[in-house]
Chain A
Amino acid sequence: MLAGILLLSGTAFGTVIRRASLTEYVAQSTVIVHAVVLKTTPVFPERGMPHTIVELAVLDWVKSDPEGRLSGTTLQVLVPGASDGITTSTVAESPAFAEADEVVLFLYRHPERGHLLINGLSQGTYRVFRQGTAPVLITGLHAEKDESIEAFKSRVRKLATETR
């Protein structure tokens, strides 16, 4: 009975997002990267949803692309929502990035267009925090309290291996 009551699974809305476990996030992610934001470019297309192109410098491939399509030192990610300073298009739960942000992102490669999206938007976004000589910490949905970036990546790598 308890198990039934406690059952939780994961989807989110703009936003509705499905709540999912770390295991599911790892399994559903084409790649998982530890990266630094190089540049953000807002896009207000005539057709389609305003979005921001986030350019990343990849520090570490926490989960590599099993098909080898994604590699190298930089990536581009599309994030719903954009701002050019005058107008802002926001989508609830969509993360915002600034230059030099250090992040771990759970990314999904669109099967038809090939671009990268962040799985679960903010839920697939983890922030890395450096402060002096203190341990480098990470925060995010499935990060433990005061968890180090290395410990988190180790957990993710283990799950990636198990779910591969």
Chain B
Amino acid sequence: MNLLTSRVAIAFLSFAAVGMPARAGDEVSCHGMDQVPERWPSSTACSGHNLHDFHFEVSVLDDDSCPGHTFWIFPGLPVHTDCESAIPTTLVDLNAAVQTLALDPEWVLGLQSIIRAAEHWNDVAGCDFAFNLVPTLRLSASHVCCQFFPSMICSCAGEPGLSTCPGLHLHDDYVASTGSCSGAVTTITALDNTMFEAFVLAMTPVETITATGEIIDADIVLSGGPWMETNDHYGKTFCNGPALDPLNPKSETFYDIEGALTHELGHVLGLGHDLSDSSHGNGLFDIGVPSHFPTMFPYAQSTGFEFPAVFQGKACTENVDIYGEQIGYAARTLEWTDKAAAAATYPDAGFGTSYGSIAGTVTRDGSALVAPGVHIVASASNDYDGARFTCLSLSGGAYRLDGLPAGSYYMYAEPVNWISDPSPGCPLCPSWPADAYFSFGSLPSWFSALQQDCLGNPFVVPKSFTIDYWNGAGEMLNEAGRACAVQLVSVTAGSTTACDFRLDTNMDSTTSMTARLSVSADGLSGTLSTRGLIASLDPGDANFVGAAGKLHFQVEDQARKGAGVAIFSSWGRVPFPITDALGAQLITCFNPSKALYLTGASTPAGISFIGTLGPMSGLLDVTDPYMANGAYRNHVRYKNAFVQAAIFDVVGGVPMNIVLTNPVNVWFTH
């Protein structure tokens, strides 16, 4: 259940629809089709516990002869008792037990983190599993510590060859496929550092029966230990959140242990990683706010001061508040995609009728061939950042997203050109071309079923259409999804909505679709690029393209495709007072950050065309009244506009075969 197996789905070898199974959890929301889901077996109660109940048996190291050798004790850091106020009931019980046993309160912090991490998953609706914490919580102070690190010749009860070991043990009671009760033990330790290098914080080896995907064991190993005090670069320091002294001189890099454990417990359940946009560090074009952070994302995020880490650096010591969103502990909070994955893996009786699904097939090049390995994203139209579900098309080109709440979703497909781990069966599995052209097998409904705001303008909800990576210098580290298509589909509970995609890798025989957009001040020409661009309207800014006012958009379709074009923009998520009429209307109508204006030859709206885009390359001048409106500008502290264009063909009088350009982020301040 990791990207190791996910690459099976991406493999070029799969073009021939070879039925190589992919594992559930490659994409956390992906289920069904021909996958072999990795999950704990489902059966009836065992050992007095309900199935999928993981009960804690904590082997605690309270032996003074071996202080500080449990992962929740952080050498050199002060003892904190002022943890977050929202203490679950289990912690009360735990604290009582701790008092009885007169244990060091420091490790209580660690247990609090573990319990909270488990309870995040327990709270998922639609699941029949639970980390059953309270009834079976047993504290045992009798375990003997192994000698000292890093020899790590320690052992853990319940594991073959391991009899005692500091760490947390989750007893996984289940009925194995053999019909016998199994007593696998999931250990959470920070003992084995032999497999860690500079970049990995934690690992969860999940052992399965290869043919069935049945999980038989899973253990969490955190990188850490006493050596982390030495600043050895492969030692990482975990902490418990806001109680940590930010001035602690030991290290400037901390990782939120509760977030890390929540992520790793997701792996214990059999879930894999999510590839949705913000999880890859994108978010710049999510109107500047990365509000979609699946817990099961593959990377710890950055330490940029306005783009804080989930696990690293200040985010662990400061609950950073940006635009009203506290994202310093984002990994602790499950996104919809995490919940859907867990629920679909362990569905309860009501899951099938409470949630809906979207399923379809990605075909390529005239629909004669299938296209596995295409990243499919569904974003709820009313919560495009928060409710985002992702999936890869699998062998046969089919994909399926389960566990979706009823509602409307914007669907798009994109190539995944960051493929770090092709499958063993495919020595090199480059992704679909980044400039591949995605479209829908059916009419894109969002062109024919536009909503209207109170200004009478049609709009759709904006979102980021790229998974581009950027570094601190504004250089793109990677790029993908230059072109993708968007379609609005409706999901109802208990049913499956069909949504097929087409992929054309051979546009115009020789030239791939490469749609480009630039934005500049009126009368000037901006840079055309297939990449995301930054266009600052502030003199002195490195990305200055001209003074704010009437804007000049240039759209070019190098592949000479397209009969029409739509330019749309959305405004940054910036809290600002708006008192003029226009602004008031904006605020009244909808959250301005979610307003996306769409226009076209048949839908004149907030943005008006000055030119037209023909079947050949062309220029398009567009005046955005909001951007150009001085009164509006004067009431905005600073502005951040997300601009993107869609080029489309018109077939039979209807637009279709939509391709999106690069996004342009327009900034200006005053």
**Chain A residues near B (Cβ < 8 Å):** 1-21, 28, 46-51, 78, 80-81, 83, 85-98, 100-102, 108, 110-113, 115, 117-125, 127-129, 137, 139-142, 145
Contacts and interface: CB of A to CB of B under 8 A. Distances in A.
Nearest to A113: B194
Contacts of A12: 199-201, 298-300
Contact of B207 (A3, A89, A94, A95): A89
A87 B233 CA distance: 33
Contact of B201 (A3, A11, A95, A112): A11
B455 interface: no
A72 to B, nearest CB: 21
A91 B264 CA distance: 11
Interface in B511-545: 534, 536, 541, 543
A50 B264 CA distance: 17
Give the interface centre of A8, A12, A21 by most chain B CB atoms within 10 Å.
A8
Nearest to A139: B430
Describe B's contact surface by its main secondary structure. loop
A91 B299 contact: no
Interface residues of B, number: 95
Contact of B221 (A49, A86, A113): A49
Given A91-B203, A102-B427, 6 more contacts: A18-B198, A21-B477, A81-B205, A89-B206, A93-B298, A111-B234
A113 B543 CA distance: 49
B395 to A, nearest CB: 17
A49 B192 contact: yes
B428 A124 contact: no
Interface in B288-343: 288, 298-307, 309, 311-312
A87 B211 CA distance: 8
Contact of A14 (B162, B204, B301): B204
Interface in B201-218: 201-211, 216
A14 B305 contact: no
Interface of B: 1-5, 7, 23, 38, 150, 152-153, 155, 160-162, 192, 194-211, 216, 219, 221, 232-234, 236, 255, 260, 263-264, 267, 272-273, 281, 284, 288, 298-307, 309, 311-312, 417-425, 427-431, 434, 469-474, 477-479, 534, 536, 541, 543, 638, 667, 669
A56 B482 CA distance: 36
Contact of A123 (B2, B199, B417): B199
A96 B273 contact: no
Nearest to A108: B197
Nearest to A128: B428
B422 A19 contact: no
Contact of B306 (A5, A115, A121, A125): A5
Contacts of A21: 471, 477
Contacts of B543: 2
Contacts of B234: 108, 111
B194 A110 contact: yes
B201 A6 contact: no
A96 B421 contact: yes
Contacts of B421: 93-96, 121-122, 125
Given A6-B307, A6-B470, A47-B161, A11 B300 contact: yes
The list of the 4 closest CB pairs from A to B, nearest first, reads: A7-B304, A14-B203, A92-B2, A122-B420
Nearest to A103: B427
A163 to B, nearest CB: 14
A123 B422 CA distance: 12
A5 B300 contact: no
A5 B203 contact: no
B312 A48 contact: no
10 contacts: A7-B471, A17-B300, A18-B300, A28-B199, A47-B153, A49-B195, A87-B207, A95-B421, A139-B419, A145-B434
A28 B199 CA distance: 9
Given A49-B205, A87-B216, A7 B305 contact: yes
Given A18-B201, A113-B194, A140-B420, A5 B2 contact: no
Given A86-B210, A141-B478, A4 B307 contact: yes
Given A100-B427, A142-B477, A4 B305 contact: yes
A94 B255 contact: no
B15 to A, nearest CB: 14
Contact of B2 (A4, A15, A50, A87): A15
Given A90-B2, A90-B205, A145-B434, A18 B192 contact: no
A140 to B, nearest CB: 6
Given A115-B194, A118-B197, A98 B427 contact: yes
A156 to B, nearest CB: 15
B420 A123 contact: yes
Contacts of B209: 86-88
B312 A18 contact: yes
A95 B1 contact: no
B200 A120 contact: yes
Contact of A16 (B260, B418, B423): B260
Nearest to B425: A98
A85 B210 contact: yes
Contacts of B430: 129, 137, 139
Contact of A11 (B162, B305, B311, B425): B311
B421 to A, nearest CB: 4
A83 to B, nearest CB: 6
A54 to B, nearest CB: 11
A21 B473 CA distance: 12
A86 B277 CA distance: 35
B477 A8 contact: yes
A87 B472 CA distance: 43
Give the interface centre of A51, A92, A118 by most chain B CB atoms within 10 Å.
A92
B323 to A, nearest CB: 12
Given A129-B430, A145-B479, A8 B471 contact: yes
Contacts of A112: 150
B194 A15 contact: no
Contacts of B434: 145
Contacts of B425: 98
Contacts of A85: 210
Contacts of B7: 96
Contacts of B202: 13-16
A31 B42 CA distance: 46
Contacts of B219: 49
A113 B425 CA distance: 31
Nearest to A94: B4
Nearest to B6: A92
Contacts of B427: 98, 100-102, 127, 129
